[in-house]
Amino acid sequence: MRVHRVVLNSRPGKNGNPVAENFHMEEANLPDKLNAGQVKVQTLYLSVDPYMRCKMNEDTGTDYIKPWQLSEVVYGGGVGVIEESQHANLAKGDFVTYFYWPWQTKAILEGSTLEKVDPQLVDGHLSYFLGAIGMPGLTSFLGIKEKGHITVGSNQTMVVSGAAGACGSLAGQIGHLEGCSRVVGICGTDEKCSILVSELGFDAAINYKKENVAEQLHKLCPSGVDVYFDNVGGDISDTVISQMNQNSHVILCGQISQYNKDVPYPPPLLPEVESILKTRNITRERFLVLNYKDKYESGILQLSQWFKEGKLKIKETVINGLENMGVAFQSMMTGGNIGKQIVHISE
């Protein structure tokens, strides 16, 4: 059986910006026969995420992320439907998700590696399993629960950078739900700022491309910053940290401003920023959602409940067609998405 797939065509270089041409779509053959334990799936949605930029380098810089190989099929978070099954616990018509889903229209996968999902958890929006009711949602929720130290009623202020992205757009809302009295987002367009405040319940938003972030923070966070959900690193984070309170907390979710640079993860801070962390006793520990697998199930149920109750608003940017995976990836890395960037695959 002939299928379409996307392979890694070239690497952007450790200090280069990824482009759509780094990926290439080609045809491939799928075996007709399934082995015991295998299933044939039709791909419905694929995810593109900032962490994947590290996978484009031969050396990803971390031990838990493996690089994509040149001329081989690319993979990441995906959701699809089973067309044929030789696995005892999976049947035709079941919906499944997998963190290493190949970027192809149909695939043969080991049934034991897949997670069966219940469409009722997302009111039928299957793509949400790759976003708010999936890894980005868990990253935001568990990051805040484990590293944010939010106490209801203690009048805490949270700042979120990359606030209109997959994690940031959820983190601000979860900050409120967990008890922060004030949440301020930082993002890169007026449209994003407007959506954060009018749709997602942020108290205020700063356009870092137009406004002086330090001045705006001073104005919008008069009592200083107690919790900082950091998706970007770099200059913006240095500015936020300089306005953080004694005994406050940085949730180190991502460092997208540094992903096109050859620096270690997490990138080193300037000496003056390190000094602020020390003197003000600010915690800034690396947060890795993979270390909290025992909390996934309860986390997904909480996120789903909030969504169903209308307390968690979900934004996504959907591009259609496997042939546009590279376009979607390039757009996501340059801030073209609001909420989760998703690619809808349909043959």
pLDDT digits (tens, 9 = 90+) for 105-117: 999 999 999 999 9
pLDDT of residue 37: 98
Q: Are 184 and 240 in contact (CB under 8 A)?
A: no
Burial of residue 58 (number of CB atoms within 10 Å: 0-12, 13-18, 19+): exposed
Task: Give the whole-number percent of the chain exceeding pLDDT 90.
Answer: 84
pLDDT of residue 268: 80
What domains does the chain contain, in order, with CATH numbers? 2-131+314-344 (3.90.180.10), 135-290 (3.40.50.720)
pLDDT digits (tens, 9 = 90+) for 42-68: 999 999 998 898 899 998 777 778 999
| 285's tokens | 């520990």
Q: Among residues 47, 56, 45, which one has the least CA distance to residue 19? A: 56
Question: What secondary structure letter does DSSP report for 35?
Answer: P
pLDDT of residue 285: 82
Which residues touch 201 (CB under 8 Å, ≥6 apart)?
172, 173, 176, 183, 313
pLDDT of residue 259: 52
CA dihedral 132, 315, 167, 141 (to 10 degrees): -40
Query: How many CB atoms within 10 Å of residue 153?
Result: 7
Confidence of residue 262 (pLDDT cuts 50, 70, 90): low
pLDDT digits (tens, 9 = 90+) for 197-250: 999 999 999 999 999 999 999 999 999 999 999 988 889 999 999 999 999 999
Beta-sheet pairing, 38-47 with 106-110: antiparallel
Q: Are 192 and 169 in contact (CB under 8 A)?
A: no
Q: Are 7 and 73 in contact (CB under 8 A)?
A: yes
Sheet holding 225-230, edge to edge: 204-207, 182-187, 157-161, 225-230, 244-252, 283-286
H helices of 41-149, in order, are 52-55, 135-147
3-state secondary structure (DSSP) of residue 49: coil
pLDDT of residue 51: 85
Identify each DSSP E strand in the chain by its residue range: 2-8, 23-29, 38-47, 75-85, 95-102, 106-110, 115-116, 157-161, 182-187, 204-207, 225-230, 244-252, 283-286, 316-320, 340-344
Confidence of residue 347 (pLDDT cuts 50, 70, 90): low
Q: Among residues 174, 284, 177, 276, which one has the least CA distance to residue 224? A: 276
pLDDT of residue 15: 82
The rounded mean pLDDT for the chain is: 93
Calculate the alpha carbon distances from 79 to 68, 103, 197, 293 in Å: 20, 11, 31, 19
pLDDT of residue 13: 85
Confidence of residue 260 (pLDDT cuts 50, 70, 90): low
Q: Are 324 and 336 in contact (CB under 8 A)?
A: no
What's the mean pLDDT in 312-327?
Answer: 97
Lowest mean pLDDT among 1-15, 27-41, 55-69, 217-231: 55-69
Question: What secondary structure letter does DSSP report for 256?
Answer: G
| 244's tokens | 């953080």
pLDDT of residue 223: 97
Calculate the alpha carbon distances from 63 to 13, 67, 264, 265, 267 in Å: 19, 10, 12, 11, 15
Question: Comparing 26 with 264, which gets the higher pLDDT?
Answer: 26
Confidence of residue 97 (pLDDT cuts 50, 70, 90): very high
Question: Given a cut of 90, is residue 14 above it in pLDDT?
Answer: no
Give the residue carrying structure tokens 């390039």.
330
Task: Give the whole-number percent of the chain exceeding pLDDT 70.
Answer: 96
Q: Are 38 and 87 in contact (CB under 8 A)?
A: yes
pLDDT of residue 256: 57
